[in-house]
Amino acid sequence: MNLQSTLIFALKGLFLAVLSQAQADAPLAELPLVKDQWVAFGDSYSAGVGAGSDKDVTGGGHGGGCKRRTGAFPVQLERSNSLNPNGGHVFNFLACSGNTITDMLGNQPNSQISTFTANSVNKTNYATLTIDGNDVGFGAIALACLFCWKGNCDTELANADTRLQTIEQDLARAYTAIVDAVASSGGPRPFLLHVMGYVRFFSEETHECDRHRMGKFIWHGRPLTKRFRKTINDLVDATNSKIRSAIEMVNVAEGYESVRFIDVDRAFEGHRFCEEGQTQPDDGPNTRIHLLRSDDSFQDIEDTGDQPEDISPADCKAVLAIPNPAMGEEMGRVIWCTIH
């Protein structure tokens, strides 16, 4: 049985999102039975920025600055009753859009790990996590390469390659912090942490996109040639490879499978940008990856507070002149104007 899920992969935890209504093929038969508590850690991929409402979010109250949403995959997992058909357990939704590994593990009282250790960690036997997209710099790559709004594409790609050289140790540190927090509190064993991988954006086999760009204006973004699409996809693959390696390191150190990788990418085969018969920007009904504000992005999902209202061309000119837009609504307006 598969979990019908809505996945959000938000670039740099902001308003440009990948929305999927795909079947995430994590085998539910292997999910643990949650008796007391479980927790969802992570970045905007887990928080669900852009998916559903920020009101009355299961496990998280109000979405707030972390932009937790009702359509996030941890919320849908909780609602599916797959973790305990009888209910009676507590779900703690801690994922926060824009968080890096350092943010998640910070000593400040409201960091994810601090909140976790302060709230009945000894009763938690299961957790989910997505983290390191912001560390690698996917947001900067999107702005520099796909929309050419800010930064140099080659520089940002090189920066990502540099970050990947050391990310494995940082990931292992994050996984270990979660697993050890449970162990040191006398929490239940075995404890299981499911780490979700990231998704490749593009089909690399077609030629339809070779002369097209993600932006609607000709000067926005690099042409989506097969070579360029492969470069972006290879970066996602390299990130997932580092995640897998870090998981193996932690499991060896812990002496049991405390962390498990969940490959969601294969659920997107045939449903990416630039599939046969598509040019970009084109979010067709068969595409499971969308830009925020595309027609498909919010099908069957309740209204979201993340969607900026349509902005006039005159206002967009002023918005795009902002030198250093602030995280949140201001950046959302910048990305909206860039796309449109």
Over the stretch 230-269, which tens digit does the pLDDT of each residue have?
999 999 999 999 999 999 999 999 999 999 999 888 878 8
Q: Looking at residue 330, what is its pLDDT?
A: 60
Query: What global pTM score does this model have?
Result: 0.77
Whether the Cβ atoms of residue 198 and residue 233 lie closer than 8 Å to each other: no
Over the stretch 124-164, which tens digit does the pLDDT of each residue have?
999 999 999 889 988 788 878 887 666 788 999 999 999 99
Instruction: Give Dmax (Cα) for the chain.
Output: 60
CA atoms within 13 A on the CB side of 142: 24
Instruction: State the chain's mean pLDDT as an integer.
Output: 76
Over the stretch 134-143, which tens digit does the pLDDT of each residue have?
899 887 888 7
Phi, psi angle pair for 205, to nearest 5°? -100, -10
Over the stretch 51-63, which tens digit does the pLDDT of each residue have?
777 777 877 655 5
Residue 21 pLDDT class (50, 70, 90 cuts): very low
pLDDT at position 327 over 80: no
Over the stretch 211-220, which tens digit does the pLDDT of each residue have?
887 765 445 6
Q: Domain 3-307: give its CATH architecture.
A: 3-Layer(aba) Sandwich (3.40)
Q: Looking at residue 325, what is its pLDDT?
A: 59
Helix (H, G, I), strand (E, B) or coil at 317: helix
Distance CA 155, CA 174 (A): 27
Q: Is 268 or 96 the better-scoring residue by pLDDT?
A: 96
Over the stretch 274-298, which tens digit does the pLDDT of each residue have?
888 776 555 555 544 545 443 333 3
Q: What is the DSSP string of 203-260?
A: -SS-STTTT--SSSSTTSS----HHHHHHHHHHHHHHHHHHHHHHHHHHHHHTS--EE
Q: Looking at residue 59, what is its pLDDT?
A: 76
Residue 308 pLDDT class (50, 70, 90 cuts): very low
311-315 mean pLDDT: 76
CA atoms within 13 A on the CB side of 89: 23
Distance CA 152, CA 160 (A): 12
Q: Looking at residue 267, what is its pLDDT?
A: 79
Nearest to 39 by CA among 78, 4, 6, 88: 78
Over the stretch 100-111, which tens digit does the pLDDT of each residue have?
999 999 888 889
